[in-house]
Chain A
Amino acid sequence: GTTTQVVHSAGRRFIVSPVPEARLKEP
């Protein structure tokens, strides 16, 4: 998917987005 999700936990914000292909191939 391409959606970005925001999760709140104990006052902190986690922004979750899909891993781009290029990142996974990085050594």
Chain B
Amino acid sequence: AEDTGLRVELAEEDDGKKSSIALRLWVEDPKKLKGKYKDNGVIEFSLDLINENPEDVAQEMIDSGFFHESDAKLLGKSIRDRVSLIKWKREKQCPVLV
């Protein structure tokens, strides 16, 4: 995935069955962000892989004051990339479930 300056990782083991999964996100390179960034640390959250859009979660983070509006795309992309990877891994492991 493209280096967005943001890192998104699994915050729990993926059993491949749950639709909602815990993720954690943090800023590795604040210089890549357009908006002013206040060091918040690691943000842990859960996301429904099937029913939720990564972009919506990104917007909620902005609304909560973690990031600036101008980084919405970057944030959404970072989460989406990780979600795609999780889905791809699930598909590889158990194509029937996905």
Q: Which A residues are within 8 Å of any B CB, using their own CB?
A: 7, 9-10, 12-19, 23-24, 26
* Cα–Cα, bound, A23→B3 (Å): 16
- Can you name the residue of chain B whose Cβ is closest to the Cβ of A2? B41
CB neighbours (8 Å) of A24 from chain B are 28
Contacting pair A10 B44 (CB below 8 A): no
8 closest residue pairs by CB, A with B: A15-B44, A18-B41, A9-B64, A9-B60, A19-B41, A14-B45, A7-B64, A19-B26
- Can you name the residue of chain B whose Cβ is closest to the Cβ of A13? B45
Contacting pair A14 B64 (CB below 8 A): yes
CB within 8 Å of A: which B14-38 residues: 26, 28
B-side interface mostly: mixed
Q: Which B residues are within 8 Å of any A CB, using their own CB?
A: 7, 26, 28, 39-46, 57, 60-61, 63-64, 66
CB neighbours (8 Å) of A10 from chain B are 60, 63
CB neighbours (8 Å) of B63 from chain A are 9-10
Contacting pair A16 B46 (CB below 8 A): no
